[in-house]
Amino acid sequence: MPASAIDSTIFRAMFATEPMRRVFSDGNRIQKYLDFEAALARAEARLGIIPRDAADEIGRHCDLGQFDMAALVAETVAIGVPVQPVVNQLVRLCRDGLGEWCHFGATTQDVMDTATILQIREALALIEADMAGIADGLARLARAHRDTVMAGRSYLQQAIPTTFGHKVAGLLAAFIRHRQRLAEIKPRLLVGQFGGAVGTLASLGDRGLAVQSALMQELALGVPDMSWHSARDRIAEIGAFLGLLTATCAKLALDVKLLMQTEVEEVSEPSVPGRGTSSTMPQKRNPVISALIGAAAPLVRQHAGALLEAMVEDHERASGAWQIEWVAVPEIFCLSAGVLAHTRLLAQGLSVDPERMRANLDLTRGLVTAEAVTMALAGEIGRHHAHHLVADISRQVAATGRPLADLLAENDEVARCLDRPAIARLTDPANYIGAAGDMIDRVLALYEAGT
């Protein structure tokens, strides 16, 4: 019976995705081991190291469907790693002793590390598709709401006006950077492993590097400059990337939860019948998508930390730290896939209420524009004095409930500097959004250019 949320019959669709589970399934993992063995045999036959008919025979049996998984599980528990049981069955499947050429010059970690990289390559295709979908949703929101004025908030309080387009363009800019990061990481990451017992390829004499190069060519992976059995920065780096990526998703989810509060109600999650209903309160519509993102993203960051721990390995082949990756890599990718799938749904289906945003701006009776007034007065009476003057008037607004514009107009010192039309312009939130529109345009141009 499944025990973790990732594989749970009940929770699996909430915390992971089916395509990502398939990538890190036992079946795909073992098939990747077999892909390695078949590619190694082909490479060594091409170089004349093993017989061609041996490579052909090995390749014919590198098919998961020919393997006894129950026997493989039992032998793996006894040995502690799954590669030798796979190789043992492969040898037995081959005719006329040709299987004896299987795994020639390789070690267990060569197979497992390269298989992990092959799985990660498949996983990143899924990750990139979701990243593109999220960015597309954010771009459409930024474009549609370029000039939708709302309260910018600092310390959870209204600060000065901004636009909803500016808010989501900030997230889009982060996704553009994530796309750049991943493009930079992939050449470092998508590198195979083939070093033999302690990374020196001694068992192949002077042919080791030639086999290594031919093997990576077969697998369409980069050739390592050094064996990396105990240098795990590649795996830790992609874990850190997933931590960054999903933290950006969680920032969006947090803002959505806050903006969905009854007292705010400026946005709402995509409407799906039955989603977010309460078992006791019929009026409730809970932000369940955002809540799931907020629950899973911290777990991704915890796994990223675990992968950093796995970097601290002893000598040439580790005695325990490597095994951390066996747990953390599948889970970090599955959890990330769940976060990204939910974020994609959120970005592409978010409902925005511009009228409510405007109504919330008016809650403070103009105080959201106090900085605008201060800056206009600063040129006449000095910024420091203007700040204190407007602060005093703002306290009167809070005490009396009267609009800021009226109290400004009644103040003799302000009236000497600003007439009523000027005060009206300054206390209109739409007139104090600065370069927000230009920044949005700049980010959208970068997005459309594919930068």
Catalytic residue among 4, 271, 278, 351: 278
CA–CA gap between residue 52 and residue 131 (Å, rounded): 44
Q: Side chain identity at 407, as an amino acid letter?
A: L
Catalytic residue among 46, 60, 285, 317: 317
* 319 has catalytic annotation: no
Q: Side chain identity at 261, as an amino acid letter?
A: Q
CA–CA gap between residue 147 and residue 136 (Å, rounded): 19
CA–CA gap between residue 69 and residue 30 (Å, rounded): 10
* 317 has catalytic annotation: yes
Q: What Rg do the C-alpha atoms of the chain give, in angstroms?
A: 30
What would the DSSP string read from start to end of 209-230?
HHHHHHHHHHHT-BPPSS--TT
CA–CA gap between residue 161 and residue 429 (Å, rounded): 6
Q: Which residues contact 392 (CB under 8 A, 6 or more apart)?
A: none
* In 274-358, beta strands by DSSP E: 351-352
How far apart, in Å, are the Cα atoms of 235 and each of 107, 328, 332, 433?
19, 10, 11, 43
CA–CA gap between residue 286 and residue 260 (Å, rounded): 9
Angle between helix axes 288-309 and 321-349 (nearest 10 degrees) is 160
Q: What are phi and psi of 158, to 5 degrees?
A: -60, 135
Task: Pinpoint the alpha helices (H) of 350-403.
Answer: 354-361, 370-381, 383-400
CA–CA gap between residue 234 and residue 113 (Å, rounded): 11
CA–CA gap between residue 364 and residue 358 (Å, rounded): 11
| 201 in Cβ contact with 105 (< 8 Å) | yes
Annotated catalytic residues are: 278, 317
